[in-house]
Structure 1
Amino acid sequence: MAAATNLDQVNPAATAAAPPVFISTATLQSLITHKSLIGHLESTLPPLSAAIHSPLRHAHQITPNSSFLLMPSWSTSPLLPYIGTKLVTHNSSNSALNLPGVHAIFVLFNSLTGQPLASMDATALTLYRTACVSALASSYLSREDAEILVMVGAGSLAPHLIKAHLAVRSKLKRVIVWNRTVEKARNLVDRLKEESGFEGVCFEADECLTAAVRMGDVISCATNSEVALVKGAELKAGAHLDLVGSFTPRMKECDDEAMRRGRVFVDNEMAAVEAGELVGALERGVVIVGGLVELIKRDIVGRRSEDEITVFKSVGSAIVDLLSAQMVYQSYVHTVSPSISIV
């Protein structure tokens, strides 16, 4: 992929008197695209990830049905003078109120002065960064001539994953959506058909997951399943499997055979202890080849042949949150609030 964005740094002294800004969902969506964020992550993860510190996230149970999570991170690099924290609430009973179960906000500070710079909708931020991490990995792991994308799950992350994967694989011309509730898959397909920018791409819903998986060149999964949905025996030669949904040892979106057949890569080392597909993986004959940063730096080889099956498992990280928030904030300064001086 081409080198990514070149965002100027904000001068701490020049912004000392500027009040913190709030970046809404609509504004955030106007500032970045999946393609631009993929490029930004590709160019910033290798040089900056080692300078970003992100301790284990804090998780607090509020009630049996609700929890509160804090995900802090900070950079010691002068090229990334930020401290950030993502605050997340999870209420499993919200579906009865027709509300999302997860709400989040990201707060950004200047690490040189401690000044609060911005807060932004981290629900949208998380959707973008999660999808873009998957697509960035796919650009190294999937076949360049991939034509069929299978989307397993039709929740809020699904359209972002579809758009991000389309951004890195121009030959994808058929998108098949599967969901346990087929009506949700059909509704997503209808929405995508109405959007512009997908000329030449066919969207369809399929009630048979097995048939869809057998056709998929890229299979992206974003579910909360605790039962393996994708079976390794059904993956065709050359397929790339992208696993996004699981983040606890009880959750898993594919079986061990899928992990054993493929060369497995992860977004970060926490995947081995958080994701059900990988917990105890070594004992089950699954080998993790390496991480996303190593792929980008080409310290490890991605796809080695046209017939090889590849697997990418992500669980998310505060490092990517901070880099994504950096891009959103600096894009805001450039385009919305030019009165904030830029070096």
Structure 2
Amino acid sequence: MRVFSSDDLDRTLDFPTLIVELAEAMRGGFIAPHRHHHPIGRAGEPQATHLLMPAWTESASRAGLYLGVKVVNVFPGNAARALPTVTGLYVLQSGRTGETLAAIDGTRLTHWRTAAASALAARHLTRADSKRLLIVGAGALAPFMARAHASVRRYNEVAVWNHRPEGARRLAMSLADAGLNAKPTEDLEAAVSEADVISCATLATEPLIAGQWLRPGQHLDLVGAFNVSMREADDEALRRAHIFIDTDAALTEGGDVAAGILGGVIDRSAVIANLPALCRGAPGRRTPDEITLFKSVGAAIEDLAAAILVWRKSGGAEP
């Protein structure tokens, strides 16, 4: 069994290749049953969440025979401990014999595949002439979101907003060092109005993005709000946008879309398509002026595809 650290993944993966692999996995050959989602109460701090996300490839899959599972813990209280909120481990196994091939840093794998999935959706949902990207949030996932989006569109400007301005300044400096024209902002409303693409990766429990701020032609990417008590965009944003999701789990899990359906703000029919359907040819953006919204709750198919890519690019043989 091989072990892959976060540094190993950063050396091995790149967004253009990973996005292609995710698109291929979404077209078929991968199976992911409903994930296990367990709340864990902890006195005196926010509720934690324990997730198990299994997936495997079918016999006819072009990817080969693999299976795997990601174990994820989300502990919001870790922010007060200066520890990561999300930690995880991915176990990749042979789909032929069941033997364990690799243990992979699940937190970093999640960063890469989450950002790549949003960028894949952006290929279908953003205007080709998008020039201004806004990153909302400055946590561990945020730099991956910026780099992934920048791999599918040529952005002249990248604005960064965070509820703590010093976090936005640090992220903007890091992105600038990586070659992006990134600058921090403290005026979220103005930044939203100026952006072509808005990507949110936060732990917000109240909406940050107001629907009345949105203008025709924008794309709103929502990857935070992992349970129905959390929100990144308000009801008006849901009403105004043409909505797309990563998988059908987003209809019942996570904030924003699932919360909107649960609260009667929108009906399930308001969701136009999921990411697999987009990758199989379903229409995405139809007009230059429509507002598109993509809600991601994470998919085990994405984890497995990313893990297989790590294994192969590191010289691992097909089982």
TM-score where L is the length of structure 2: 0.92
* Unpaired segments ≥5 residues, structure 1: 1-19, 335-339
| 1:81 partnered with 2:44 | no
Q: Percent identity?
A: 38
Classify the secondary structure of the residue corresponding to 2:302.
helix
Cα separation, 1, equivalents of 2:49 and 2:266? 35
Q: Does 1:188 align with 2:180?
A: no
How many angstroms does 1:280 deviate by?
5.5
Distance in 1 (alpha carbons) for counterparts of 2:110 and 2:130: 26
- The separation in 2 between residues aligned to 1:271 and 1:76, in whole angstroms, is 24
After TM superposition, the structure 1 stretch with the greater mean CA deviation from structure 2, 303-312 or 284-293, is 284-293
Match of 1:317 among 296, 299, 303: 299
Q: Is 2:123 aligned against 1:139?
A: yes
Superposition pairs for residues 227-242 of structure 1, below 5 Å?
Answer: 227-242=206-221
Give the Cα–Cα distance (whole angstroms) in 1 for the partners of residues 17 and 79 of structure 2.
33
1:111 deviation in Å? 1.6
Is contact 2:25–2:302 with CA below 8 Å preserved after alignment? no
The one-letter code of the counterpart of 2:105 is D
> Mean alpha-carbon deviation: is it higher for 97-106 or for 153-162?
97-106
Which residue does the alignment assign to 1:45? 26
Shift of 1:231: 1.0
Q: Aligned pairs, how many?
A: 310
Task: Give the corresponding residue for 1:253.
Answer: 232
Query: Are 1:274 and 2:256 counterparts?
Result: no
| Contact 2:125/2:219 (<8 A) preserved | yes
Contact 1:157 1:222 (8 Å CA) reproduced: yes
CA offset digits 1:56-77 (Å, max 9, x no partner): 2242627445554322222333
Quick one: distance in 2 between partners of 1:306 and 1:91? 40
Match of 2:139 in 1: 155
TM-aligned CA deviation for residue 192 of structure 1: 1.4
Q: Is the Cα–Cα contact under 8 Å of residues 219 and 241 in structure 1 kept in the other structure? A: yes
- Residues 54, 319 of structure 1: 8 Å contact kept: no
* Pair 1:115 & 2:85 matched: no
Partners of 2:37 and 2:260 in 1: CA distance: 25
Q: Tell me the alpha carbon deviations over residues 116-146 of structure 1, each in whole angstroms, 9 at most, x when there is no partner.
A: 1001101100000000000100010000000
Distance in 1, matches of 2:206 and 2:74, equals 22
Q: Which amino acid letter does the alignment assign opposite residue 25 of structure 2?
A: T
TM-score in terms of structure 1 length: 0.85
Residue type of the alignment partner of 2:171? L
Quick one: which of 293, 309, 315 aligns to 1:333? Answer: 315
Distance 2:53 2:208 in 1: 29
The answer as to whether partners of 2:228 and 2:259 remain within 8 angstroms in 1 is: no
How far 1:154 sits from its partner (Å)?
0.7
- Does residue 301 in structure 1 map to residue 283 in structure 2? yes
Query: Cα offset for 1:152?
Result: 0.7
Q: CA deviation at 1:78?
A: 4.2
Give how far 1:271 is off.
0.6
Q: Kindly name which structure, 1 or 2, has the bigger radius of gyration based on alpha carbons.
A: 1
Q: What per-residue deviation string (whole Å, max 9, x for no partner) do you get for residues 148-203 of structure 1?
A: 00111111111000000000002x110000011011000111111222xx2xx421
Match in the other structure for 1:5: none
CA distance in structure 2 between the aligned counterparts of 1:69 and 1:41, rounded to whole angstroms: 21
Deviation of 1:257 after TM superposition, in Å, equals 1.2
- Change beyond 3 A, Cα 1:97–1:261: closer
Quick one: distance in 2 between partners of 1:58 and 1:311? 25
Partner of 2:84: 100
SS class of match (2:252)? helix
SS of 2:72's partner is strand
Asked whether the equivalents of residues 149 and 174 of structure 1 are also in contact (C-alpha less than 8 Å), the reply is yes
How far off its partner does 1:227 sit?
1.0
Q: Over aligned residues, Cα RMSD in angstroms? A: 1.8
Q: For 1:183 and 1:81, locate their aligned partners in 2 and report how far apart those are by CA, in whole Å.
A: 46
Mapped partners of 1:154, 1:186: distance in 2:
9
Return the offset for 1:245.
0.3
